[in-house]
Structure 1
Amino acid sequence: MRRPSLRIAQAALTLVAAAALVWSLQLLAPGDPARRVLVANGVSSPTPAQVAALHTELGLDEPTPARLARWLVSAARGDLGTSWRTGAPVTAELAERLPATLRLAAVALGLALLLAIPLALTAVAGRNRLPDLGGRGLMFLGASAPSFVVGTLLLEVVVLRLGIGRVLADGSWGGAVLPAIPLALAAAAVWARVLRGAMLDVGTRRHVHVARARGAGRLRVLLVHVLPGASPPLLAAIGMTIGSLLAGAAVVETVFTWPGIGPYLIDAIVARDVPVVQGTVLLGVLAYVVASMVADLAAAAIEPGRR
């Protein structure tokens, strides 16, 4: 892998380019932004004077490069604008909902690791036999099942029929387990497949053969000599799937009425609240870029040859 300073610089450039792309979303939205803001604030039939005044207030008459530069500077300072729907700062509204989403993501991450590592170990230990074939089948099912379908089934069976859990989630750690399951299944399937392939590759290396020749048992070989060497690809996979985990969280949060960023984003899309959509997507991009960078740096620290 490249030196850490170059990796950090690449992450910064990626974030700036993604932020510019996110800002361009408003250029694709149909209709006049000023008119949409007025309608969202209860003005059913805005007059041309009202639209013109708001154009000036929002800086919509400025050249596009100037507007983009101003938004990028504001976003770098943590100012994501004002919601057209509520009139509140987008940053404040995101900060209010972010802890619940982070709790859900943390529980999903923990569950995914608890599922992925044993599944990969079992598949490698029984390579080309029933445990491996069954494990690969589970990986395929987990990766192909949409999170919203799994979430809806869990809500129907576990909550409504068995009476376990709540229909209206409260955002607590305990309440995060059930909504986290659909996210964990999808992530665990990908991570287990990556870890299985990496462990099979590490298993052919010289130090593993030496360990076997010295009489080390199969479990010790897998846990002590193979698994640590296979962890860098797993870390990279975790970093790469953070974005899809957050995207899936938006849908799962809506299904389980989880008080996080997901329902907030869905409502903003329905209402065409562009600043909220921009801010939420930018937050997701930031999480993806930072997670990928941290995963790469951690993998390089574990395996210096990747630098």
Structure 2
Amino acid sequence: MKKLPIKYLVILGILILTCSVISHKLSGKETLQDYAEKNPETAYATKAPGTPSPSVLADAGDSASAGNPAVQSAVPFPLAEKVTDSIEYETGFFYQPLTYPVIHRITGISYPMSKTDAALLSLEAPPNILSDEEMASLAVSYEDLRYMNILYYDFNGDVQTGELICNKAIAEDLIEIFYELYENEYQIESVRLIDDYNGDDTASMEANNTSCFNYRPVEGTSSLSKHALGCAIDINPFYNPYVVFNKGKAGETYISPAGSEIYADRSKVFAYKIDENDLCYKLFKEHGFTWGGNWNSCKDYQHFQKVPQ
């Protein structure tokens, strides 16, 4: 029997899942997302969306809160279940090929969808649509990606479960790094898929969310980011902003996300700062990643990337 291309299997999966959600709603039953919105602690083993985390700037004796506005508009999905071909590193740490529910979740958001498929499914302007020609030359496939489940310590010192999507070539690196961070109780505020923020990198950064895969260009350019390949990750981005010097005709310094300007001054002492003395930096460097904080024309203090050979 002839095997169907994965493109058509994905479309079929989306249709089945969409019909399932509709039937649940029509029958008055509660969907997984309805349950998750009402029971976030149970559904995600994490604090409810919108719970603010305190700013911890501690420079020159300044104890005033000056940081993260905790912008949080996203509703997280339930974590993906482990499948038979998962690779488990330690309890709570595994990675695996993308399952169809995960593919359904990310398609049209972090993973692009063609205009033809969007029209076929009668979708109203998904945030990440490409032409059929662009889709034909896509730089990464579903098969190139891996879904990852990790444990981490949040800013309250509580253990949480996080999820990432990355390139399969760096999955082993990331699982080892996050396990070492966990063993050393390194604090990370949030580890959720960028899809929980509708693929909006700015919203994710403003919420201080750590994320990896997102098929998008480098901010302000048409060149694909290493995030589009699943080969880059941003750690505690609100406290480790993206800084571009002499941007535009005015020659101003551009800092993203908005509100993180105080953390662009790396001479200050504050918690969650990534520098060359930080454990996170040391682990990523040991695994062959480059750090955006070492760049010249701009500084991306949150950013680590590794291009597989």
Structure with higher Rg: it is: 1
Assess same fold via TM > 0.5.
no
TM-score bracket, normalised by the shorter chain, equals under 0.3
- Highest RCO, 1 vs 2 (Cα 8 Å, sep ≥ 6): 1
Q: Which has the higher helix share?
A: 1
Query: Going by fraction, where is strand more abundant, 1 or 2?
Result: 2
Q: TM-score, normalised by structure 1?
A: 0.24
TM-score with structure 2 length normalisation? 0.24
